[in-house]
């Protein structure tokens, strides 16, 4: 399955498949205009792809004059993709078709008690489990995508380090999974996977300039400029959680002090509310948890939205810190949209209004006048969908020798 396509005919079939995925429904004439393959070659390869069930006929063209052309489209159930997303709390795995649409998913708490080898074994076990439960043949899986919470070198498929899982560093996930499953594997940061889902699926049309804020124990930003997701020299673009917000702030696990993640991540928020409650503060947040040690950031945001004074003050501090960091990214990258992680949605209008106020107070007004700030509307499986998009792009990647114009004439 991982063998490189070497025969010219198979390569040309892969190009035609990629076109039916990207531009379908499309006719053979449309394929010719884009590839300049010989018409007889296109006809023969199309016949083969139809017989192999890799593409399907979906109707005929509606051109007003001339012969109606047969329209072709990728068969989205001919192959499948597996996505695995994890952090220090939960592992989620999903099987997707070639759309991608999630067909089956599983989840379980992350086991951090058995070190690196234990977590690797759990990730592989979840992958095998979701494939088995979905009923999909392992031979029909064309790729695996892994969304890692740490700093990921996506080009090598290696996790460099993680600020939320201490032992998780220098992990060659791509190599390990390809050896175990003999399936092409892509390793991406959890933040970038979610950003791709937001870019392609979160709005009415793909977003060309976007900042996505991934919020949790760690804080990251995915950045899209002119339609392209940014990576950087060592795939480190977007480590907003390790930008310094306060020179007198607490130490961060990265080794610096005053980092956004150390000041405004979920652990910091929960530490603030526990400290205040221990010192005698009264808050309705206690009604949402069994005791103060079980208070979560979601509870704090919800209580703040309901008018709780203590939680409202903590929310204001959170909005200030996130707003300052985002204002800096606005000045650097000039996005049309900033999308906040759905985990922040419990803060509602109160939180988003305060973040917006800080951003507009710090960033250039010419950048913020038409900028949209909103919560993500995608569900918790957005990272899995983002992985599906990454794997499919790599699988159907059209070689440089066949550069395809985005402009398609009616055929």
Whether the per-residue pLDDT at 17 is higher than 70: the answer is yes
Residue 406 falls inside a structural domain: no
Residue 323 or 293, more confident: 323
Q: What is the pLDDT of residue 402?
A: 45
pLDDT category of residue 292 using cuts at 50, 70 and 90: confident
Residues 366 and 223 in one domain: yes
- Residue 181 shares a structural domain with residue 254: no
Strands ordered across the beta sheet of 102-109: 102-109, 90-96, 80-86, 141-148, 185-189
Strand partners, 229: 224
Instruction: Read off the CATH number of the domain in which 48 is found.
Output: 1.10.10.10
Query: Residue 67: which domain range?
Result: 8-75
400 within some domain: no
CA end-to-end distance (rounded Å), the chain: 34
Q: Note the pLDDT tens digit of each residue in 80-135.
A: 999 999 999 999 999 999 999 999 999 999 999 999 999 999 999 999 999 999 99
Question: Which domain CATH number covers 349?
Answer: 3.30.420.40
In a domain, residue 281? The reply is: yes
Residue 243 lies in a domain: yes
> CB of 338 within 8 A of CB of 373?
yes
Q: For residue 400, is pLDDT > 80?
A: no
> CA 36 to CA 42: how far, in whole Å?
9
Q: How many domains does the chain have?
A: 3
Place of tokens 């009264």: 282
Whether residues 23 and 108 share a domain: the answer is no
**Which residue from 116, 147, 150 is spatially nearest to 253, judged by alpha carbons?**
150
Q: Tokens 């560093």 sit at which residue?
A: 169
Same domain, 228 and 353: yes
- Residue 71, strand partner residues: 59
pLDDT at residue 67, as a whole number: 81
Same domain, 14 and 137: no
Instruction: Specify if 408 maps to a domain.
Output: no
Instruction: For residue range 29-85, list pLDDT tens digits in order.
Output: 999 999 989 999 999 999 999 999 999 999 998 877 778 899 999 999 999 999 999
Does 168 reside within a domain? yes
Residues 189 and 239 in one domain: no
User: Do both 373 and 387 map to the same domain?
Assistant: no
Q: Give the number of C-alpha atoms closer than 13 A to the C-alpha of residue 151, restricted to the C-beta side.
A: 20
Q: From 94, 173, 78, 91, select the one nearest 131 (Cα to Cα).
A: 94
Judge whether 402 lies within some domain: no
pLDDT digits (tens, 9 = 90+) for 67-76: 889 999 999 9
pLDDT beyond 70 at 4 = no
Please tell me whether residues 248 and 271 are part of one structural domain. Answer: yes
Same domain, 215 and 343: yes
Shared domain check, 326 and 242: yes
Same domain, 234 and 248: yes
- Cβ partners under 8 Å of residue 88, min gap 6: 110, 112, 149, 164, 165, 217
- Helix intervals (H) in 334-409: 348-362, 365-368, 382-395
pLDDT of residue 291: 77
pLDDT of residue 409: 39
The two tokens of residue 350 are: 């109160």
pLDDT at 7: 64
- At residue 293 the predicted structure's pLDDT band, cuts being 50, 70 and 90, is confident
Residue 28 lies in a domain: yes
Residues 364, 220: one domain?
A: yes
């Amino acid at each position: 399955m991982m063998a490189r396509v070497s025969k010219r005919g198979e390569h040309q079939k892969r190009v035609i498949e990629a076109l039916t995925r990207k531009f379908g429904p499309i006719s053979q004439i449309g394929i010719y205009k884009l590839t300049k393959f010989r018409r007889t070659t296109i006809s023969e390869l199309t016949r083969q792809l139809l017989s192999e069930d890799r593409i399907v006929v979906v109707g005929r063209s509606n051109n007003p004059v001339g012969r109606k052309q047969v329209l072709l489209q990728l068969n989205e159930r001919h192959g499948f993709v597996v996505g695995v997303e994890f952090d220090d709390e939960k592992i989620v795995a999903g099987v997707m078709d070639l759309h991608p649409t999630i067909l089956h998913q599983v989840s379980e708490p992350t086991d951090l008690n058995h070190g690196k080898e234990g977590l690797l074994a759990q990730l592989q076990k979840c992958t095998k489990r979701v494939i088995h439960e979905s009923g999909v043949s392992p031979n029909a899986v064309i790729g695996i995508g892994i969304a890692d919470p740490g700093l990921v070198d996506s080009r090598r498929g290696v996790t460099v380090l993680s600020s939320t899982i201490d032992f998780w560093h220098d992990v060659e996930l791509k190599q390990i999974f390809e050896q175990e499953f003999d399936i092409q594997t892509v390793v991406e940061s959890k933040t970038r996977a979610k950003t791709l889902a937001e870019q392609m699926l979160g709005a009415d049309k793909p977003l060309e300039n976007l900042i996505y804020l991934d919020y949790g124990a760690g804080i990251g930003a995915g950045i899209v400029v002119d339609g392209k997701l940014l990576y950087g020299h060592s795939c480190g673009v977007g480590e907003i959680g390790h930008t310094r917000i306060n020179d007198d702030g607490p130490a961060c696990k990265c080794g610096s002090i005053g980092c956004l993640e150390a000041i405004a991540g979920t652990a910091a928020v929960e530490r603030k509310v526990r400290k205040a409650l221990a010192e005698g503060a009264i808050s309705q947040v206690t009604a949402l948890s069994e005791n103060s040690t079980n208070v979560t950031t979601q509870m704090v945001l919800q209580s703040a939205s309901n008018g709780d004074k203590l939680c409202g003050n903590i929310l204001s501090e959170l909005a200030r810190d996130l707003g300052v960091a985002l204002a800096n990214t606005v000045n650097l990258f000039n996005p049309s949209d900033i999308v906040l992680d759905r985990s922040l949605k419990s803060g509602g209008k109160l939180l988003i209004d305060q973040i917006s106020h800080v951003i507009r107070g710090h960033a250039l007004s010419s950048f913020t006048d038409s900028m949209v700030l909103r919560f993500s509307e995608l569900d918790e499986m957005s990272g899995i969908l983002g992985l599906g998009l990454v794997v499919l792009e790599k699988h159907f990647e059209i070689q440089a020798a066949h550069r395809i114009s985005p402009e398609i004439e009616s055929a």
